Amino acid sequence: MAAPHPRFFLLVYRIQPRPTTHRVAVWRQLKKVGAVYLQQSICVFPERPAIRKELEPILRRIQEAGGDYHLLPLGQLAPHEEEKLVREFRSQTAKHYEEIIEECVTTFEKEIEFEIFRQNFTYEEAEEIRADYEKLGAWFERVRMRDWFGAPKQKEAQEGLKRAEKLLEEFEGRVYEVLQGEGTSRKPARPGGASRAEVSAAAAEG
């Protein structure tokens, strides 16, 4: 009878401590892939073909830095050990969602409030805030793709992004109206906010 397909695999690697550049780069890349570290240079992943593929350039970097590694399937774990690992993954992902929620409120929303307070309704500012929002959205998607075990806080993070998008659209609408007022009155202001393309067009006309 064939052995059950392992649900997790372990990566154990070694890199020379100096220079630290390689160690830090590998650690950062492994965390980005979704690794849960059990100890220094020992981390675990769910068994997924996509993860194996993402690991390939990181493993090459370990070898190019003069290091070595072992990829070890964990096989069938005892239920309590599997539960511990799942808990670790869920906790790690939930922390990422919490950071996104905090970023939506303390940075993104506060930034828009500040720009409204100082009446900074410029195309450049709207573009900068739009870029910040797109970074937040990309961050959320990266975390969501690593949410293998249904971590809490995903819904709250999605709601935070929706609020941020609404505030951004309202801000872009005010920018559009200001630029229209400063430039030409040939076109009426679009009620309910303006699209990004309209903000760009208004800037060009202004």
Q: Cα 47–22–50 angle (5° rounding)? A: 20
Predicted confidence at residue 106, as pLDDT, reads: 85
How do residues 124-170 score in pLDDT, each as one tens digit? 999 999 999 999 999 999 999 999 999 999 999 999 999 999 999 99
Two tokens at 86? 């799942």
Boundaries of every domain in the chain:
8-76, 91-205
Q: Length of the chain in residues, anyone?
A: 206
Phi, psi of 42 (to 5 degrees): -130, 115
Residue 157: partners with Cβ closer than 8 Å, 6 or more residues away: 97, 100, 101, 104, 140, 143
Phi first, then psi: give them for residue 186, nearest 5 degrees: -65, -30
What is the per-residue pLDDT for 163?
Answer: 95
Cis bond upstream, residue 191 (ω within 30): no
Predicted pLDDT at 69:
97
Higher pLDDT, 197 or 94: 94
Please give the sequence-ordered ranges of beta strands (E in DSSP) within the chain, or none if there are none. 8-14, 36-39, 42-46, 68-73
d(CA 51, CA 41): 17
Q: Which residues pair with 9 in a beta bridge?
A: 45, 73
Mean pLDDT of 85-93: 96
Task: Enumerate residues 6+ apart whose C-beta is below 8 A from 190.
Answer: 173, 176, 198
Per cent of the chain over pLDDT 70 is 85
pLDDT in tens, 48-79: 999 999 999 999 999 999 999 999 999 889 99
The answer to whether the CB of 6 falls within 8 A of the CB of 81 is no
Question: What kind of architecture, by CATH, is found in domain 8-76?
Answer: 2-Layer Sandwich (3.30)
Q: Beta strands 68-73 and 42-46: pairing type?
A: unpaired
